[in-house]
Amino acid sequence: MQKTPLGESKLSSSRLAYGCWRLAPASEVRTNLETARTAVLAAVEAGFTLFDHADVYCHTRAESAFGEVLRENPKLRKKLLVATKCGIRQAEEPPGAPHRYDFSAEHIIRSCENSLRRLHCEEIDLFQLHRPDWLMDADEVAIAFASLHKSGKVREFGVSNFSPAQVGMIQRTLLKKLEQPLVSNQVEISLAKLDAFTDATLDQCQTLNLTPLAWSPLAGGLLGDGGKASPPGEKAGRLAGVIAALDAMAAERNVTRAALALAWLLKHPAKIIPIIGSTNPDRIRAAAAADKIELSREDWYRLLHAARGEPLP
């Protein structure tokens, strides 16, 4: 698979990333390890090098299962980029607390150290803030990031689900306090979710040279092979139109619907990296084929028209 840089850093990633949020769905350790081992090794063989985590994925089990795979295959670590996220706190953590977000320096540092232990890593390549904390203090975030970077626990930093204004606030503070810019913003982007194209997120990514990491690039599987539009309504109608357009174009090119939908994202000049979440080895390999599909501008806009449900003005 071809490579692409992560922001302005020295890190280079495969054009598609593997998302680990479904890696350990069961409470049984052996079952999770079998699932993780099969999926991770299939992704590595297909050319994926960036593996995306968060401490809340499968209630920390995803990181732990992945860490066991790395411990079984120690040579893998040097070939991969390990990314994880922090900042979401579950209800009852601690007892009596509501579900909320936490970007306090103490929580960021503690979360990173816990993730390192679960992942069996000495360093996280990309550490991201998961969802904006309404009490976010950019100066405090910078203090935590500086500590983690200086101690060698994190190489690069990013954010997830941040608005352009929030990215700008954090970026200005980090450049002032840490002299190290963000390298990524992980947001939902797909033919069924076009907000990033219209709310200045992708414009800002190009301006600041941030890498957009696209979560749910297949709309939770609806745009994947076999996905269907439901329930009825305007949104389902547009989705059905997108699926029909993808199926027609995929048949013409003899490629899968999923690979085509991912190639549509890869075409954008912001250098979007779609994050694939399937644990099925066949689907992982099929998704990797998107790297070899080159869409014309005309075909790209045909799919955009279908996604909008109407032509451009």
3-state SS assignment for residue 280 = coil
Q: What is the pLDDT of residue 30?
A: 86
* Confidence band, pLDDT 50/70/90 cuts, at residue 31: confident
Which pair of tokens denotes residue 145? 């990031």
Domain limits of the chain?
3-221+265-293
Q: How far apart are CA 78 and CA 12, in angstroms?
A: 13
Position with higher pLDDT, 66 vs 180: 66
Average pLDDT in the chain = 95
308-311 contacts: CB < 8 A, separation 24 or more?
308/194, 308/238, 309/234, 309/237, 309/238, 309/241
Domain 3-221+265-293, CATH number (from 3.20.20.100, 3.90.1200.10, 3.30.70.330, 3.30.230.10): 3.20.20.100
Q: Which residues are catalytic?
A: 57
Burial bucket for residue 166 (CB in 10 Å: 0-12, 13-18, 19+): middle
Q: How far apart are CA 211 and CA 199, in angstroms?
A: 16
What backbone phi and psi angles, to 5 degrees, belong to 271? 60, 55
* DSSP state, residue 3: E
Q: Beta-carbon neighbour count of residue 215 at 10 Å?
A: 19
Which pair of tokens denotes residue 213? 């990491």
Containing 284, the helix (H) or strand (E) segment is helix 281-288
What are the pLDDT digits (tens) for 146-169? 999 999 999 999 999 999 999 999
What are the pLDDT digits (tens) for 96-133? 999 999 999 999 999 999 999 999 999 999 999 999 99
pTM, two decimal places = 0.96
